[in-house]
Amino acid sequence: MGARLPGGKDSGAELVDGTVRRPVRAWTATVHALLRHLELRGFHGAPRVRGIDTLGREVLSLVEGETVGDAEPWPAWTHTEGALDDIGRWLRAYHAAVADFRPSADATWRDGGSWAPGLIIGHGDPAPYNAVWDAQGLVGLIDWDDAGPVHPSDDLAWVAFSWTPLHARSVVLREGFTDLGRRRERLERILEAYGRPGATAEILERIDARLTVQVRSMRVAAAAGDRVRARMVAERLDELLEEAQAGLAEL
C-alpha cells in the first residue's frame, strides 16, 4: 500500500517504494514521450518516467523537496523574489531542452491541439502548487498532465500569471500574497530572469488572451463531462479567471 501525496485536485498520487504512482489517462503516453525527451536532454527540473506498474498506474520518479500540498495560505517561499528568479531561469532552461521535441503524429494532449513549427510543448499548469522547493530553491515542476502545444511567449505569459501572481485579488490573498502594489515589478523580475526584459506589455496582452481561452475551454470541457473541469466551474474558477482578467488593466 502506498501513502497519498498531499495536493492533487484531480485523481491524486501515491508514494510507493520511493516512486510516484498515478492513474494512466489517454494522454499519458504522449506526456511520457515528452518527459523521456527531457531526460535525454539532461533537464533536471521534471520527474523521470519509470514505466507502468502491475495495477496499470504510471510510475514516475519522486522529485524530492517541499510542495504546497494542501496548505493554505501557501508556504512563504512561493511569494519570495528568489522564487521569481528561479522560475524564470527554470523556464528558460526548459524551453532550451524542449525546443527540438517533436511529438508523434498520434500525440494526444489533455486539452487538445497539435504541434506545428514555431510551437513548443509547455507544462500547461506551471503554478507554485506544482513546484517542488528545497533549501537551494526551486527543484522542478511536477504534474505534467496539462502539457500541450503552445507558443513560447504564451508559455512565459502563463508562468508570469501564476508566479507574479496575477490571479483575482481574493484568490491571491487567500494564498497568502499581500504585496499587490508590487505585482508589475514582480512580473518584470520574472521576465528579466527568463531573458525577456522589456516584454511586459506583450506578456500582459498574451495573459489576457490566454485567460479568454482558458475560461472558454474550461466551460466547454465541463459541459462535455470532464469531471475535473466541471468541479472547477462549480467552484466558480472560471469567474475568478475573468475577475483576474479585468484586473490586468490596473497594472
pLDDT digits (tens, 9 = 90+) for 61-97: 999 999 999 999 999 999 999 999 999 999 999 999 9
Mean pLDDT of all residues belonging to the chain? 95
Cell reading at 168:
483575482
Report the pLDDT value the prediction gives residue 51, as an integer from 0 to 100: 97
| pLDDT over 90 (residue 6) | no
Contact between residue 126 and residue 147 where contact means Cβ atoms under 8 Å apart: no
Predicted confidence (pLDDT) per residue in 143-157, tens digit? 999 999 999 999 999
Overall average pLDDT of the 25-38 stretch:
98
Cell reading at 51:
514505466
Contact between residue 95 and residue 152 where contact means Cβ atoms under 8 Å apart: yes
In this prediction the pTM is 0.93
Short-list 187, 163, 185, CA closest to 175: 163
Orientation of helix 200-223 relative to helix 152-163, angle to 10°: 90
| DSSP E strands, 62-196 | 120-122, 131-134, 137-141, 148-150
Predicted confidence (pLDDT) per residue in 187-236, tens digit? 999 999 999 999 999 999 999 999 999 999 999 999 999 998 999 999 99
Predicted confidence (pLDDT) per residue in 151-189, tens digit? 999 999 999 999 999 999 999 999 999 999 999 999 999
Instruction: Extract long-range pairs of 225-228: CB within 8 Å, 24+ residues apart.
Output: 228/9, 228/10
Distances (CA, A) of 124 to 145, 178, 251: 8, 26, 24
1 vs 158 pLDDT, higher one:
158
d(CA 111, CA 152): 17
Report the pLDDT value the prediction gives residue 11, as an integer from 0 to 100: 62
Share of the chain above pLDDT 70, in %: 98
Share of the chain above pLDDT 90, in %: 93
| pLDDT over 60 (residue 9) | no
Beta bridge partners of 91: none
Short-list 153, 144, 138, 41, CA closest to 97: 41
Predicted confidence (pLDDT) per residue in 103-135, tens digit? 999 999 998 899 999 999 999 999 999 999 999
| pLDDT over 70 (residue 8) | no
CA dihedral of 201, 204, 208, 214, whole degrees rounded to 10: 140
Tell me the Cα Rg of the chain: 17
Residue 86 has, within 13 A of its CA and on its CB side, a CA count of: 23
Overall size of the chain counted in residues:
251
